[in-house]
Structure formats: structure tokens, C-alpha cells
Amino acid sequence: MSEPREFQPVCPAPARSQRVSMAHGGGGRLMHDLVRDVFAAAFACSADHDAAVVEIPAGRIASTIDGYVVRPMFFPGGDIGSLAVHGTLNDLAMCGARPVSLAAAFIIEEGTSIDVLHRIARSMAMAAQRAGAVISTGDTKVVERGHGDGVYITTSGVGRCEHDRDIHPRSIREGDVLLVSGDVGRHGIAVMSARENLSFESAIVSDSQCLWPAVSSLLEAGVDVHCLRDLTRGGLATALVEWAQATGLEIELDEAAVRVDPAVQGACELLGLDPFYVANEGRMVVAVPAAAADAALAALRRTPEASGSVVAGRVLAGRPGQVSLRTRIGTLRNLPMLSGAQLPRIC
Amino acid sequence: MKHVDEFRDPASVLECAREIGAIVTRPWTLMEVCGGQTHAIVKHGLDELLPSQVTLIHGPGCPVCVTDVAILDQAHAIAARPEVVFCTFGDMLRVPGTSTDLYQVKASGGDVRVVYSPLDALDIAAAEPAREVVFFAIGFETTAPANAMSVYLARQRGLKNFSMLVSQVLVPPAIEAIMASPRSRVQGFLAAGHVCAIMGTREYEPIAAKHRVPIVATGFEPLDIMQGVLMCVRQLEAGSHRVENQYARVVREEGNAGAQALMRQVFAVRDANWRGIGIIDASGLGLSAEYRCFDALDRFGTTLASRQDDGVCISGLIMQGLEKPAACPAFGKACTPEMPLGATMVSSEGACAAYYRYRR
């Protein structure tokens, strides 16, 4: 697919007001203008009716919903709009579902610049268009200044399962091989450095992206995919602990196999963070039978989204519900779920 | 990454472990002083690589762990005040005092902000002159210079709305206290490399001589720690008790003279109460008379009744090297990182938290 051009809204910005006021949430003309000029224009959808009707061929449908809050709203490699689209597309993709249609709800804080809303809406439209999906319906609400943090977005999505596999933690088996689709930890560090004004020698760019092309490549190659999980908050370690707990099996991760960008590693060393727990928005872990590992790796690496894929772990039966890390120096240690967020250390 | 990869090189680490195995003839008990070293040992499984004769026990060098409950209670009370912006390093957020922690204070409306440097707190004070900005100055000699610098600059910049809640502690008096205990089993120390980067190694010489223990200033990467153990065991086997420097790429014998001078100007030595251990003479720093006007306790402190740690908890024994975490009946049961009963479970660098997190 060629790179989509940035979408030009039908009605040129700026709208009459520079900033969102409580009047934009009042159900009157201002609200209708906002919905039509900013969102419906960017998404090329209609604002005339209460819901969108979408054609979906018969078969299994994947459905998901997620809320997005991020500060700052714009960060290296993305923004809250692209994030809200990628995150929901990825949740669908983790069921092996081709994304079809999204719905988006916006909680907008009074005082937010209309221009910011335009940027977010355009970014969402581009992200959806790249994945071959449409944003077909939505909602806006305005809250008083101080009762929000700019813009909160909730997106729901539906996608088509064009396969008959049971891509689910219950399909994971002892002996399965785990692949990680690229380097880990970039999104969390990119957002943190933007939020805290931390500057590093080289800019760290979020990995936020839609993973459907990589999943599609796996399915087209006929790989017997047992499970997929996108790595979000809590990072790679938390995703693996969730799988270990869901399956009652042991997972062993090879520290040396997992890629971490040197700039991310440096930032983590400096801040006392473990990159295996740092958030991602465009990486996934894939469980396949050992016999399918080579085919899976090849299929993933064929796509730009997962060109950095590696075999990074395996499923064992030894310690039910636990994840073990094989360290670089060959020792084994526990990789647990953290009790809360990672906190930067004192020294 | 340069200065990291070469000190995590598996072959070098294993070679060093083999060398320790080749020279050791008797059982030896070593203490790594710093929580960062404990964390690295357990994270990388380094103790598994050591010969069975060498036992590592974990020292009191986690500043978060040893912060007195009474200071934490003051911090929580000050942070809850409506006029205060309370600035802290991130890992103090969930350290429990008598009844709450900074996360809860923040959730209840307190303006608690995580900063990466005390100088960030100064900038906040300058930007928000109507608010009282309090920085929670925690740590060993490692954090003291930057904290001293922030007070020094606050005075230079005339920032009257800035103050500091000080709970700085010092390593050598803690080592001295451990060695003075008749129950101590420690035969050699890996001194905390970053503390030595500031203070140098000379202040350990009287301790090494008096107690006849080798003390090796040691870094934090796997190979650093293995080399520190090797140097310590080599001395023990030879019957010597010198101060040595494994961390020569960072530590100078005289330390950082500029940092020390600033610390002497801004801080004054005082007794300190170590959580889990008790009062150690001349083991802490408070603001000197010249800088006392920046003391947050003077500005906002109140009398509070603090509850000391639960009786089941043996964190004091663990920090003195007398017990290991698994010996505690509450470890991993009544006491977890979510609900810590004592000092060594509260911070990620506490020995109990490190064992809980990494041990299989």
C-alpha cells in the first residue's frame, strides 16, 4: 500500500472559535459545527445519524474497546490520536482479526485548542486509513477546565476473523516457542522523556504502530499461531506473566535475545528502569509450536512492522504460572509482575 | 553500551567466578553495603556463581529502606498541606509511614510531584512563587552534593519559598556500627562505589585497621561485583585487611573535593535514626546553622506519634547481616512489596524486595 497523504478537511481550519468552550458541549450549533468540521470531516464519515451501519461478511467478529490518556498528547513518533487507533487495531489484530470499523468517543477539556483537535483527528484518520479501517461513528463531550487533561479518547473496534484458529492463551502448549516482534521499551521512554523534558543524546521515538500487517503475514503464511499479545503497559515481562498465569505453564525468556535500542537502554540505566517493564505500543509476542518457529520468524520479518522479530523464549511445564529469565551470564531468575508502576530510583 | 557491556560480559564474569573458586580455601562472609549492589547480585544471580564457601550478606545501603518512619510521617503531613508542592524522587512514593504513603497523599489532593533532580524543585519554586516548594532530601553521600547544591542555589537565587526535608545518612558510621556488634559475622566489605566516588576511600582506612577487615570500593555491574569479591577473598586468604579500589574508573582515593566542600558548607553531621536498626551516632546530615532557614521541619514540622515497624519483621537483623530474607516468617506472606511490614521490603533495592522479585 502506498503511503497515504495527509487528509485535508473539507472545511478549512480554523473553525469560528479558537478553543473549545463549554458551549461546544451544549448540543447546539457550536457542537454540531465541531463534530462536522473537525471529526466527521477528518474521518470522512457522516454525522447525520445515531450509529453507523457497517457491512461485514458472515463469520466470526472480534470486538474490543480501550480508553487512551497520555500526557503529553503529542510525543516523538505519535500522538494520542494515532495511539487510540493503533491500540484498538492491535487488540483486534491479537485475535487475528482484520480491522474493519472503529468508533471514537472524545472527552474534551474546556480550553483545548480547536487546532489540536484537528491535528488529533487527522492523525487518527491516517492511522485508520493505513490499516484499511474506517472510523465510522463517534461522540464528543466537553468537561470544565481542570476536570480533564486536554483530550481523552475511547475507541472501540470490530474486525473480521478470516481464519478458524483459536488464537487465545488457552491454545498455548508446553514446547511452544515465543517470538518478540522487535525492540522493546521505546514507547514508554519516548513519552516519559517528552513529559519530563528529559533530553538524551539521540531522540527516542515511540514504536506506536498497527500490527495487523505483521499478523496478516503470519496467517497468510499458514503459521499455526497459538496466541498473540501486544505489549502495552507493563511491557514484555507483564505480558509473559499474564500468559504464564493464564496457562498454568512456565515461560522462559532469554535476556540476550530480546532487543533493546541502545538509547532506550541508556535511558533505563540512568533512570533505574527495567526495559522489560517499559510500555510499548507497536510490539507483540507470538506463541507458535516449535516446528513453526522458523516459518513464523520469516513471515514476521517480511513486514516492516516486525522486521526486528526474534525468537526470545519458550513454554515449559516446570514452574506453573511463573516466568524465568535466563540472564546474559547464564543464571536463571524470576521475572514477576510488578506491584505498581516502575519508579525512577534515587541513586 | 560502553562502560556497561564490558562489565556484563558473561565470559569475564564466569572467569572471575572461576578464579574465586580457585583461591578460596575456607568459608568467608562478605557484606555488600549498597542496595544497588544487592539488587545487581540478585538480579543477575551472581551469588549462584560463587563457590559455596563465599557467602554474601546484604547491608543497610538502601536509602529508601533506612529512612526513619518519623521522617516519613513528617513528609506525609507536609505534603498534605494545601500551600505545599512536595517534590520527591519516585521511589519514595509508596514507602509507608505510620498510616499512609505519598501516593495516598497525592490521591487525597496533596500536590506531590516526582522530580529527577533537586534542581527541578528549585525551578518549580521559581515558577510558582505563591506556593511553598519542599524537596525530600533522601540518600547517602551519593545524593548529598546535589541536594546541598539545591539549597546553596536557593539562597543565591533568593528563593524564600523553597525548603528541604532532610534525611541524609552516612555509610562509614553504619559499617562501624555493624562491626561493633558482637554478633557480626562480616569478615569483609564491598563498599558502595558511588558513595566512594564522592567521599573517596580514605575514611574507610581506620575501620579496616580497627576491625581488621578488608574493604573494597566496588561498582555495580556483574563484573564489578565479582572482581570486588575476588579482591576481598584474596585479601582474606592472605590475612590482610587493606582498603582497595575495584571501581577505579569512577572512584579516586580523595573523592570529589568540590562536592565534599559543598556538603560541609550546607550540611552538619548529626545522629540519625535508621529504620530497622536504631540510632547511630553521627551517622546523618542535617542543614548547617548557616542554611537552617531552609529546613522544612522548622517551617512545617509538627509533633506526630509514629509507629515503629511490626514486631514480626526482622529487617533490622537483615540489614546488619545477621539474617537473610527467607529466615523471616512474614517474608512473602504477610509482608510483600504491596503490603511491606518493614524497611527492606519497601524499596526495590531493599534485600527482601530484591529476593521477593527475583528469586525463583
Q: Is A332 on the interface with B (CB under 8 A)?
A: yes
Is the pLDDT at A1 greater than 70? The verdict is no
Q: Which residue of A has its CA nearest to B34?
A: A347
Q: Which residue of B has its CA nearest to A335?
A: B358
Is the pLDDT at A63 greater than 60? The verdict is yes
Q: Is B14 on the interface with A (CB under 8 A)?
A: yes
Residues A190-212 have pLDDT tens digits of 999 998 887 776 789 999 999 99
Q: Is B54 on the interface with A (CB under 8 A)?
A: no
* B37, burial (CB in 10 Å: exposed 0-12, middle 13-18, buried 19+): buried
Q: Would you give the DSSP letter of residue B45?
A: T
One domain for residues B238 and B153: no
User: Would you state the pLDDT for residue A14?
Assistant: 46
One domain for residues B70 and B144: yes
Please indicate, yes or no, if residue B193 is contained in any of the structural domains. no
One domain for residues B129 and B216: no
Residue B340 — pLDDT band, cuts 50, 70, 90? confident
One domain for residues B14 and B42: yes
CATH number where B275 lies? 3.40.50.11740
One domain for residues B86 and B219: no
Residue range of the domain that includes B95:
65-170+255-300
User: Would you state the pLDDT for residue B238?
Assistant: 98
Of residues A265, A331, A333, nearest to B1 (C-beta): A265
Residues A268-316 have pLDDT tens digits of 988 889 999 999 999 999 999 999 999 999 999 999 999 999 999 999 9
Report the gap between the CA of B44 and the closest CA in chain A (Å). 6
Report the gap between the CA of B359 and the closest CA in chain A (Å). 5
Question: Which range in A37-51, B175-189, B206-220 is most confidently predicted, on average pLDDT?
Answer: B206-220
User: Would you state the pLDDT for residue A302?
Assistant: 98
Residue B260 — pLDDT band, cuts 50, 70, 90? very high
One domain for residues B142 and B280: yes
Residue B306, Cβ neighbours under 10 Å: how many? 14
Domain total of chain B: 3
One domain for residues B146 and B286: yes
Q: Number of Cβ pairs closer than 8 Å across A and B?
A: 87
Report the gap between the CA of A109 and the closest CA in chain B (Å). 20
One domain for residues B213 and B291: no
Please indicate, yes or no, if residue B307 is contained in any of the structural domains. no
Q: Do A339 and B336 touch (CB under 8 A)?
A: yes
Please indicate, yes or no, if residue B350 is contained in any of the structural domains. yes
Predicted structure pTM score = 0.86
Of residues B49, B94, B138, nearest to A331 (C-beta): B49
Please indicate, yes or no, if residue B288 is contained in any of the structural domains. yes
Q: Residue A18 to residues A15, A116, B66, B141: CA-CA distances in angstroms?
A: 7, 10, 53, 52
Residue A58, Cβ neighbours under 10 Å: how many? 6
Q: Report which of A273, A305, A279 is spatially closest to residue A186, judged by C-alpha positions.
A: A279
Q: Is B145 on the interface with A (CB under 8 A)?
A: no
Residues A11-48 have pLDDT tens digits of 444 445 689 999 898 888 889 999 999 999 999 998 88
Please indicate, yes or no, if residue B128 is contained in any of the structural domains. yes
Of residues A271, A331, A347, nearest to B45 (C-beta): A331
Domains defined along chain A, listed by start? 22-51+58-161 (3.30.1330.10), 169-334 (3.90.650.10)
Residues B85-100 have pLDDT tens digits of 999 998 898 888 888 9
Determine if the peptide bond prior to A72 is cis (ω within 30°): yes
One domain for residues B71 and B161: yes
Residue A256 — pLDDT band, cuts 50, 70, 90? very high
Q: Which residue of A has its CA nearest to B36?
A: A347
Lowest-confidence region among A2-16, A30-44, B43-57, B258-272: A2-16
**Chain B residues near residue A272 by CB distance under 8 angstroms:** 91, 348
One domain for residues B159 and B27: no
One domain for residues B237 and B295: no
Please indicate, yes or no, if residue B194 is contained in any of the structural domains. no
One domain for residues B10 and B158: no
Q: Which residue of B has its CA nearest to A260?
A: B1
User: Would you state the pLDDT for residue A6?
Assistant: 53
User: Would you state the pLDDT for residue A281?
Assistant: 97
